[in-house]
Structure 1
Amino acid sequence: MRDFHFPGRSPVLATNGMCATSHPLAAATAIDILKRGGNAMDAAIAGAVLLGICEPQMTGIGGDCFVLWSMPGETKVHALNGSGRAPAGLDAAMLRDAGHDTVPLGSPHAVTIPGAVDAFCTLSERVGKLGLDTLLAPTIHYAEAGVPVAPRVASDWIPCATALQGSARDTYMVNGKVPKTGEIFRAPKQAEVLRRIAKDGRDAFYTGEVAEDMITTLTALGGAHTAQDFANAACTDTTPVAGAYKDIEVVEHPPNGQGAVALLLLNILKHFDIASMDPFGAQRAHIEAEAAKLAYDARNRFLADADHMTRIDHLLSEDTAAKLAALINPKRAMANATHLSEAVHKDTIYITVVDGDGMIVSLIYSIFHGFGSGIASDKFGILFQNRGAGFSLTQGHPNELKGGKRPMHTIIPGIIRSNGKPVMPFGVMGGQYQPTGHARFVTNQTDFGMDPQAAIDAPRCFSDRGVLQVERGYSEAVRQELADMGHTVEIPDSALGGAQAIKVHDTGVLEGASDPRKDGCALGY
């Protein structure tokens, strides 16, 4: 239990349904959908799509998603890959010949075919109860009426707005300027797109006038996108990956997301007595940082589209983890792993919902960088992700850019199982921080007995490109001790990540937790 003398958040408790996400309007919308007879999938879709208006720098219908869920009374976790593919006519050799070492962030070559809309339509039809017209109605309303810009969103908008180009500046600025907290952001052209999807389903987005608008915009800038690329867009059922940590099992979405990296990191941490360490001390921070360097180095070498990846068993192997753990010096920092040439980011949204029948949904949805590619379709203002910047241009790399291939993704939803039963959907936003965030969230609970909210509130650190980013929640003494171990220590400009979680108790009580680093909340009824 937290000390009520200090600022903080209490867990949110309810029995009929719960949502935790990064904006209160989305959480309230999800709860309203549950009250109207929808299930957890209905609620998660409705809330996620609305987040594209509440947090447009983070996500939108021009982006991708990954989803994990379990049905009431089942132990199985289902997975859907809603990430898009590179245009068929694009490959790495073309960009290498043009003199590029990496995929340019703000170019049409970074724009993969958006996958989220197909995923949402598929899940609504297959798993949901209420229908797309009901689920999209709240976003249509708020896109037209407008949403007051929340404080964290306003803060993120400032550095992200530099990516906006062309007509995107008209759509994603307010009166030509970055909006301040409390100013109203509207996206009426997106409301029209959603109205068409509500009526005609995924074909209203991937064919016809909307698709033509997207293709015309991209090809005018030199993109290789075709009508066939959009018409062929399709989400994919897949099988989750999982690993044990102490008495729980962590279930992750498989590649092309980096869930396997979170499991590798946890497997490395098993070789250290984390529970004996000060949870906010230098020793734990050091071991976690060193383990992350090794896990991320493996990611950079092997992670790719599942159809092009041959080393998933290597990443998940206990033997691999043991060999990597043996490389860690408990008293001295190693050199940082060679960082990705592919671009990494810190922007996404995550939403989790549990309904009264016990359905669990863990959904993550992103346009990659802040405002994605910065390119928006001219007529409807659909902002394109730049997930293609996650590809490698290195010839022969498993993640090399090829037409029809999915890039390595940073976003990962998670679910914890206990005694074989799904009991906690969770996610930690924050780009490549996410595997470290998953591991820390898990170990905060298993090794230090924190409840989900305390595990989320706790200070974070992250070794990234030769710098150990240490949040202000750590003491100066800890920062100095880490520096003495050989780490280059900095306080990050913005807080690391943003987490959401719901714990399902055996009594049926739902316990929601939401990160104070974001504007959102957990809501239940």
Structure 2
Amino acid sequence: MITDIRSQWHHSKTEPVARGGMVTAEHHLAAEAGVEMLHDGGNAVDAAVAAAFVMGVVEPFTSGIGGIAGLVMRRADGTVASIEGSTRAPLGARADMFELVGGDARAGMYLWPAVKDGANIDGATSVSVPGQAAALCLALERYGSLPRRRVMEPAIRLARGGFEIDWYVALSFAMYAERLWKAGDARRVFFRPSGAPLRPPIGTEPSDRVVQTDLAHTLECIARDGPKVLYRGEIAEAIVADVRANGGVLSAADLATYEATQSKPLQTMYRGHRIITLDGLTGGPTVARALTVLDAFPVGAKEQGGVDHLHLVAEALRAAFLYRFSQLADHTTHLNAIDKEHTMVSLTQTLGQGFGSGFVPKGTGIVLVDGMTWFDPVPGHPNSIAPRKGVLWAGAPTLIVRGDAPLLAVGAPGGRKIMSAVTQAIVNIVDFGDGPQDAVNRPRVHDEGEGLLVDSRIPEDVREGLAALGHDVEVKEETLMSAWFARPNAILIDHKTGELRGGVDQLKPAVAIGLG
């Protein structure tokens, strides 16, 4: 027998260290915008909101003002809050509004029974009420320190002046080219005039630039007049008119009655650490429940990455997901910010699937969320469609406090995998003492109750050990563009030194940037 001995491609990133504040984000321009706010004397809320608005410009396939968002924050004085701008079904939505394909066909990121023409996941018919801008502006109004115009300035500048795309953005545009080509305004913005895809830098030639003039105008209106312009007035009218002209049911009343909400975050204890995360129809309760299960077992006494450790994690995740599916009626992006006073913000935002609905109302530049993708299109089920019904989404931005000292801001993009990724990053830090870069990069498992997904980097003997314990093991390789295990990022406060340390996904162009 011939044995192949091959070279292996390893990916790694350094762990930046800073004292004056830090921002982690999926794109360097977003992290830079956040640090720009810190440099100007802003706090972590200013930094997170600036980064979030920029993410909607530079990665419009993951998030934006037409999408949804949720954040948790803890100020240096111990004040905690959560703000959510989730979506809800339009007033005109009904349980039987979509025609089913029939049979065993499944579609969408949550694999509901397939709908004819993908109407629940694609185009104007999939659109629900956006909430991201309302949530970001509410957070800024109540907890920020800089003017809204200043915080939104980087996003407006990048939308109007454009930015050069890298390989990751170019590849993401290409992945969704077929969907975007169907939408007139999306086609105009995200393709070359010839109809060819936008290009990254090739050879000695620079990359194409993405210029979003209509989006810049919309952002300027929000900066000047607040998020109300998306829900009442000319922009709102343009959104509703184009959505309804293309078969959607979003109405003026849906927008006019929408408000982002502030509430108490969900808090629980794990190994003497206070866990602070989103409550309600989010991924927060699932993370909290998984950690509660693990808290009863001596995980830290096990070999990290060994059979016993991963078996306990898998069982805790399975129990948490079973509760989630029984009791509760993504391309995503995540970012964190901590300032020099150690105010912490963890923020997750999404459009649903990549580029959301793929629908951009004429003259607005806004990519709208495909909120109907979160609902079961079959009537009579717990998560079936109903007018004004909220969605069950997976965002789980999380903070950790040790005693009275802030310790960690962590979260991830990645649909349902968010919850398992955040749980395991926390375990790696609290139980095994990892720094943030190691914590987010270690191979993980994922279990929703139907089988155990195992990162291919986990050794074969460990996989065999998990199978021997009864797990239905399915090995998956995480590559540059795959989405098997989510992509967490985190900022850790080292109280022995007063330093901030950042950790980001090693495969994507995510980055942690510190100040001073």
TM-score band by shorter chain is 0.7 to 0.9
Q: What residue number does 1:13 align with?
A: 17
Q: What residue number does 1:323 align with?
A: none
CA apart distance, 1:454 = 1.2
* Structure 2 CA distance for aligned equivalents of residues 199 and 253 of structure 1: 29
Q: Decide which moves more: 132-141 or 462-471.
A: 462-471
Q: What residue number does 1:436 align with?
A: 420
User: What letter corresponds to residue 170 of structure 1 in structure 2?
Assistant: R
Q: Deviations over 1:144-180 (max 9, x none)?
A: 2222223333444443334333222332334434434
User: What letter corresponds to residue 167 of structure 2 in structure 1?
Assistant: P
Q: What residue number does 1:170 align with?
A: 188
User: What letter corresponds to residue 210 of structure 1 in structure 2?
Assistant: I
Aligned counterparts, 1:20-99, within 5 A? 20-74=24-78, 76-95=79-98
Q: What residue number does 1:517 align with?
A: 507
**2:406 matched to 1:427?**
no
Q: Does the 8 Å contact 1:132/1:198 carry over to 2? A: yes
- Cα distance change of structure 1 residues 246 and 179 upon mapping to structure 2, 3 Å threshold: same
For structure 2, list consecutive stretches of 5 or more residues without a partner in the other structure.
Answer: 1-9, 103-111, 202-206
**2:272 matched to 1:247?**
yes
Q: What residue number does 1:204 align with?
A: 229
**2:282 matched to 1:263?**
no
* Structure 2 CA distance for aligned equivalents of residues 198 and 188 of structure 1: 15
Q: What residue number does 2:7 align with?
A: none
Q: Decide which moves more: 377-386 or 482-491.
A: 482-491
The correspondence for 1:358, drawn from 338, 342, 361, is: 342
**2:488 matched to 1:503?**
no
CA apart distance, 1:455 = 0.6
**2:220 matched to 1:195?**
yes
Q: Does the 8 Å contact 1:22/1:350 carry over to 2? A: yes
* Structure 1 CA distance for aligned equivalents of residues 66 and 460 of structure 2: 42
CA apart distance, 1:69 = 0.9
Q: Does the 8 Å contact 1:206/1:230 carry over to 2? A: yes
The correspondence for 1:348, drawn from 332, 335, 358, is: 332
Query: Secondary structure at the residue paired with 1:367?
Result: strand
Q: Decide which moves more: 156-165 or 56-65.
A: 156-165
- Cα distance change of structure 1 residues 258 and 96 upon mapping to structure 2, 3 Å threshold: farther
CA apart distance, 1:235 = 0.4
Q: Deviations over 1:206-257 (max 9, x none)?
A: 2222112211121112222111211211101112112222121211100111
Q: Does the 8 Å contact 1:53/1:147 carry over to 2? A: no
Query: Secondary structure at the residue paired with 1:278?
Result: coil
CA apart distance, 1:95 = 3.8
Query: Secondary structure at the residue paired with 1:434?
Result: helix
TM-score (norm 2): 0.86
Q: What residue number does 1:138 align with?
A: 154
For structure 1, list consecutive stretches of 5 or more residues without a partner in the other structure.
Answer: 1-5, 305-344
Aligned counterparts, 1:369-408, within 5 A? 369-393=353-377, 395=379, 397-408=381-392
Q: Does the 8 Å contact 1:204/1:210 carry over to 2? A: yes
* Structure 1 CA distance for aligned equivalents of residues 393 and 364 of structure 2: 26
Percent identity between the two aligned chains:
29
Aligned counterparts, 1:144-183, within 5 A? 144-164=160-180, 165-167=182-184, 168-175=186-193, 176-182=195-201, 183=207
* Structure 1 CA distance for aligned equivalents of residues 340 and 97 of structure 2: 52
User: What letter corresponds to residue 30 of structure 2 in structure 1?
Assistant: A
**2:325 matched to 1:300?**
yes
* Structure 2 CA distance for aligned equivalents of residues 237 and 429 of structure 1: 22
**Any runs of at least 4 consecutive aligned residues in structure 1 with deviations exceeding 6 A, and if so which?**
96-100
CA apart distance, 1:483 = 4.8
* Structure 2 CA distance for aligned equivalents of residues 351 and 177 of structure 1: 32
Q: Does the 8 Å contact 2:286/2:419 carry over to 1? A: yes
TM-score (norm 1): 0.84
How many residue pairs are counted as aligned between the two chains? Answer: 478
Query: Secondary structure at the residue paired with 1:195?
Result: helix
**2:456 matched to 1:491?**
no
User: What letter corresponds to residue 356 of structure 1 in structure 2?
Assistant: K
User: What letter corresponds to residue 366 of structure 1 in structure 2?
Assistant: T
Q: What residue number does 2:109 align with?
A: none
The correspondence for 2:453, drawn from 469, 474, 479, is: 469
User: What letter corresponds to residue 430 of structure 2 in structure 1?
Assistant: T
CA apart distance, 1:109 = 4.1
Q: What residue number does 1:216 align with?
A: 241
- Cα distance change of structure 1 residues 486 and 508 upon mapping to structure 2, 3 Å threshold: closer
* Structure 2 CA distance for aligned equivalents of residues 50 and 105 of structure 1: 25
* Structure 2 CA distance for aligned equivalents of residues 152 and 478 of structure 1: 33
Q: Deviations over 1:383-413 (max 9, x none)?
A: 1111222123455554332222211111121
